[in-house]
Amino acid sequence: MERAVVKAKRKELGISCMLNTEVGAVLAVIRRPISESYLSPQETDHCDSSVQQSLKSLRALIFNPQQEWRTIDPSVYLSPFLEVIQSDEIPASATAVALSSILKILKIEIFDEKSPGARDAMNSIVSGITSCRLEKTDSISEDAVMMRILQVLTGVMKHPASELLEDQAVCTIVNTCFQVVQQSAGRGDLLQRNGRYTMHELIQIIFSRLPDFEVRGEEGGEDSESDTDEIVMNSGYGIRCCIDIFHFLCSLLNVVEVVENSEGTSVHTADEDVQIFALVLINSAIELSGDAIGQHPKLLRMVQDDLFHHLIHYGASSSPLVLSMISSCILNIYHFLRKFVRLQLESFFSFVLLKVTAFTGFLQLQEVALEGLINFCRQPAFIVEAYVNYDCDPICRNVFEETGKVLCRHTFPTSGPLTSMQIQAFEGLVILIHNIADNMDREEDEGGEEEDANTIKPSPVEINEYIPFWIEKPKDDFETWVEHIRVRKAQKRKLAIAANHFNRDEKKGLEYLKYNHLVSDPPDPMALASFFRFTPGLDKTMIGDYLGDPDELHLSVLKSFTHTFEFTGMNLDTALRTFLESFRLPGESQKIERMIEAFSERFYDQQSSEIFASKDTVHILCYSLIMLNTDQHNPQVKKKMTEDEFIRNNRAINAGKDLPREYLSELFQSISTNAFALSTHSGPVEMNPNRWIELMNRTKTTQPLSMCQFDRRIGRDMFATIAGPSIAAVSAFFEHSDDDEVLHECVDAMISIARVAQYGLEDILDELIASFCKFTTLLNPYTTPEETLFAFSHDMKPRMATLAVFTLANSFGDSIRGGWRNIVDCLLKLRKLQLLPQSAIEFETTDEEALSETDVNMLASQENKFNRRQGSSLMGRFSHFLALDSVEESVALGMSEFEQNLKVIKQCRIGQIFSKSSVLPDVAVLNLGRSLIYAAAGKGQKFSTAIEEEETVKFCWDLIIAVALSNIHRFSMFWPSYHEYLLNVANFPLFSPIPFVEKGIPGLFKVCIKILASNLQDQLPEELIFRSITIMWKIDKEIIDTCYDTITEFVSRIITEHSASLQTQIGWKSVLQLLSLCGRHPETKEQAVDALIGLMSTNASHLSQSTYAYCIDCSFSFVALRNSAVEKNLTILDLMTESVTMLIQWYKTASTEITTMGNNNFSVASNASSSSSVEENSLRGVNFVHHLFLKLSEAFRKTTLARREEIRNRAVTSLERSFIMAHEDLGFTPSGCIYCIDHVIFPTIDDLHEKLLDYSRRENAEREMRSMEGTLKTAMKMLKNVFLHYLEQIVGSAEFRTFWLGVLRRMDTCMKADLGEYGDNMLQEVVPELLTIMIGTMKEKEILVQKEDDDLWEITYIQIQWIAPSLKDELFPDEDL
């Protein structure tokens, strides 16, 4: 405690010593004589008596204070020094010392804001210093004093008690400082620099406190002087002084200087030096105040109106430095206050930045404007906010789109070397593209994995209903709001198209509006009025003609049209100018009358003064102004109206009274100096006062600027507006640049474009790929392979472009559509140039083959998500590529040109495009396959030699199969289209069948085996692949013959390993037909026969009723071959016979179903139809089994005519066995049995008999004839056995009599066969024996007995007498004729 007391006393003593020293210094300077004539003794005495006395009084008090200095009223020790400063007789040197003393007092903070009298003391300091008198001094001393004044003013504002200063005092400080700056203009540069620095420092101090000011009641009116104001003023300076100071700073932008032009006349121009100074101060104020300005309405209105008006007015017509400062100021306002300056920002872009960049006169000014645009594009939120608030608003300009197109236009290189502006614009365009891409990726990251899996790419919006396009919806629900602004953007595009139609044909334009739901039906007058009012590019003459029409709808539209204007606060001439600028007055007086009447009514309703008594007054005066405009500005009018004449012409028009003369005089001067703008084209070219007043009126009804988060749908739409020019600009820049870093940036921009285009802009991605493919030099049709290879090997740009193209294919393949064709063409050209080693292509699929469709979809989602996020990391590959590209490093590493090329190709990861195609979406797979298939057909390809063509096409088929194998899980989706492509290319004149046979057909079989091995539940993939396999029948037989060994191998593998997976009819049919064909070739015959035997012996259970017939056909084709092995053919016949057991099983299954259906009593009506359907199916199954049995029997019947006896005899035996096995188990009806025998066994006998007779007529054919005779003998025995086996079953049939006659007839035919020169017929021995057995059996079973109503006995008796008379007595012993 004692130590603190000692320290406090030491401080108090130090203050006393300091004050004593300062008083002594001032007194010493005052007493010092400067010159004989400077001060007379009387004057010195006067100083001594007044100023010196107060200083001496202070000295007497200094070392005897009654209390601490902090508790003493500061005026006690400040007043003597202030008297010195304010004295007229004190020399400048003494004033300077007094100012230094006050500055020292302020710096050591002898008092603070809590000291008594601190408020009065601070205000007295300001008052004393700002009234400093320097009447008797030289310029040098005066400069020194003024610099000291600046220091003290700064010290005052930095002092803790400065918050007690009154608003007026603070304004005085700033004004004094500015006066010093102004007075120093003709003096030394040092004083002016110090003055400006001090001014800057004061503004920083004052406006840094603005965020701490509370919104007080004094802001309710401009000039209010309420009690609240006094309270606020007594509490220290606040928002009022900030408003005054900011208004003062804004006024500095309008300071003009008078200069003489080349003609010797004086011209008033803006003082650029003052403007720059003011802009620096305004920027500081905005930077330090931040968004606090928005909390104070008066200050905010000043920014919205005065400041922006000045900045826009001087922006387009100033120097580069001023424009740069203005752009910085606007950017600062955007950061803190953009919510409140939506329309002002649009005007700044329209009338300053975009206008200057479009003007080709002043290059430096263009560069500054371009840099201003780029600075805005650097702001993360600007592009989306500009698009949402302006581009998506039909009433506003397309700020984002025009900004992007300006950057593209200035980026596009000319014939010469790249200029600094082109490089600058390119950097801005790259920033813009990266900004969009990063925001879209950032949204993807924030969305999460679950959302990503179900994300649908944005698609263009459609206008399906009438929504008023001029009404903006508030942002309540974000999702609804996003769709709303997307619809508004679509409406805006349609409005532009409608404007084009309207300008050509009014009727078509209005019909287009209705068709696209932009106007309701019946038409809404406000919709048409808004279309005429806000749509740029409309023909103003046509608008005037429409609005002036007397039709009722047109009159309603005219009234609504006037309601789109806000005339509040406008003079009549300003309002009339604004109105007439929106259309061109028609020539018909009645139309003009209607338009002026509508305007007058609207203006009268919104007038803010009581000048006009009625709207009729406005109407009359408007006509007068239009006539005055014609009189003053029509060159054909020689005698111009004077002001007095104009006033006289408008007497007593205001309800019988005169309008104020001053008002009429003001109108006359306005019209005389500035004519009405009656342009026929739309769109303002400059910001005049009329438009500014209109803009400020619009701000009252326009919603604030929406500060929204980025949305992928918005990003997709906004980039679509600049995508085409962006790709063209980046491509052209890449083409004209040789700098490594620039090329790197071009590829980086290309990657970012792809990152954006993947979200629903597939056509843009295709365009990007097509654009960069041309830089690979691989697709140039006018260069030889040698030239292409040389360019690729010796130029970094083609290799870099190639790497970029294939990187896009790997990373964004899910969004590529038609671009696959370009990628495939590049790939094939690399193959032709031998730059694509086999090791660069990985055709083997990964473990994804074993995954389910769900797993593959999940993998695809993860893969695509990874690709979308790797945009920035992709450039690492290009950096490494650039680092290794120099020739010196390549030589140092011992790399040849070929090795360098291979290194690049390896980095392309071409194999992954195809091996990982399973993660591509359906559309991408379809387009990739289409490109490959058409390339395999030779479409668009030029080949030097046939070998080159063959190798390239083979390579294409390998790629096609690789894609198919990787996408088995969705084969049903893409292969129908692939099949159509295959059918199309197979008919091409240039189609190459040999590569298809060598690569395509084996590949299709590989896919087929993969499908069968996958055990898919869906049968469609199997059906699709076999349809494609059958395309081979379109190829010449000679070419197909060359690949039967491959076909046999695959078919055998399918039958041996995958017959259980064959589910379709076309699959079995194709396999067995191919197997049949393979069996006809000597090289593949044995393998084919073994495959068939294996199928029928081991895998017969895999056959179905629908495929059984194909197996029988195939079997018959084998046994019918002449040169096939007898043993295997006999085996096949035996297996065919055993297959009857399968028919029996199928029959029993179908019969069981019918029995079950018959036993079930369905009482519910709804089950009746289903049970009937099942029963019908079962009956069809039974009948189909009978049909298959006939198919099998027919095959045996045909085989009985084989050349080799062993085969024939076995076929007869097999036929007999089949009938015996099918007797009871196949459930033939009596008629069915007779039908089968009649259509199979009888023809067998007949065919063998005919063949026997045929051989008997040939020479030297006895051996063949006897062989055939033996077969016929066996067949006759077969007939007897089958007849006896089925006898009891068929005897009851009404057809039995006819059937029995057929048996006897064939016995008779064989019995009487004439063998000619070859001798006796051995059948004559067999037939009687067979007849004896059959008739004897029929007698035993009492089938052949004499009956009165049955003539079977009599007929048989007669036939036996004819066939074998010798048997009559034996068979019919008791009968006589």
Active site residues: 588
Helix, strand or coil, per DSSP, at residue 943: coil
Q: How far is CA 1033 from CA 386, 1022, 1039, 1070, 1292, in A?
A: 62, 18, 11, 11, 51
Task: For residues 687 and 313, give the distance between their C-alpha atoms in angstroms, rounded to a whole number.
Answer: 7
Task: For residues 422 and 413, give the distance between their C-alpha atoms in angstroms, rounded to a whole number.
Answer: 7
What is the residue-wise DSSP string for 806-846? HHHHHHHGGG-STHHHHHHHHHHHHHHTT---GGG---S--
User: Residue 807: what are its φ and ψ, rounded to 5°?
Assistant: -65, -40
Nearest to 1197 by CA among 1163, 1238, 1156: 1238
User: How many CB atoms are closer than 10 A to CB 551?
Assistant: 9
Cis peptide before 522 (omega within 30 of 0): yes
The residues, any chain, with a CB within 8 Å of residue 621's CB and separated by 6 or more, are: 572, 612, 650, 653, 659, 667
Helix %, strand %, coil % of the chain (to 5):
75, 0, 25
What is the residue-wise DSSP string for 1298-1366? HHHHHHHHHHHHHHT---GGG---THHHHHHHHHHHHHHHHHHTT-S--BTTB-HHHHHHHHHHHH-GG
User: How many CB atoms are closer than 10 A to CB 266?
Assistant: 8
Amino acid symbol at 1204: R
Joined tokens for residue 1128? 């295997």
Task: For residues 99 and 94, give the distance between their C-alpha atoms in angstroms, rounded to a whole number.
Answer: 9
Task: For residues 1022 and 1010, give the distance between their C-alpha atoms in angstroms, rounded to a whole number.
Answer: 10
Task: For residues 343 and 324, give the distance between their C-alpha atoms in angstroms, rounded to a whole number.
Answer: 21
Contact assessment for residue 85 and residue 95, using Cβ atoms and an 8 Å cutoff: yes
Q: How far is CA 1034 from CA 979, 987, 996, 1043, 1191, in A?
A: 14, 9, 11, 15, 29
Measure the CA angle with vertex 179, ends 173 and 184; round to 5°: 130
Task: For residues 987 and 990, give the distance between their C-alpha atoms in angstroms, rounded to a whole number.
Answer: 9
Task: For residues 241 and 179, give the distance between their C-alpha atoms in angstroms, rounded to a whole number.
Answer: 18
Contact assessment for residue 1106 and residue 1142, using Cβ atoms and an 8 Å cutoff: no
How far the first Cα of the chain sits from its last, in Å, is 168
What is the residue-wise DSSP string for 1233-1261? HHHHIIIIIHHHHHHHHHHHHHHHTSTT-
The residues, any chain, with a CB within 8 Å of residue 1018's CB and separated by 6 or more, are: 972
Task: For residues 145 and 97, give the distance between their C-alpha atoms in angstroms, rounded to a whole number.
Answer: 9
The residues, any chain, with a CB within 8 Å of residue 1275's CB and separated by 6 or more, are: 1200, 1212, 1241, 1244, 1245, 1248
Task: For residues 483 and 490, give the distance between their C-alpha atoms in angstroms, rounded to a whole number.
Answer: 11
569: left (phi over 0), alpha (psi -120 to 50) or beta: left
Partners of 258 in the beta sheet? 268
- The secondary element (H helix, E strand) that includes residue 266 is strand 266-270
Task: For residues 1133 and 1207, give the distance between their C-alpha atoms in angstroms, rounded to a whole number.
Answer: 8
Nearest to 804 by CA among 765, 764, 857: 765
Joined tokens for residue 452? 């990503």
Specify the length of the chain in residues: 1377
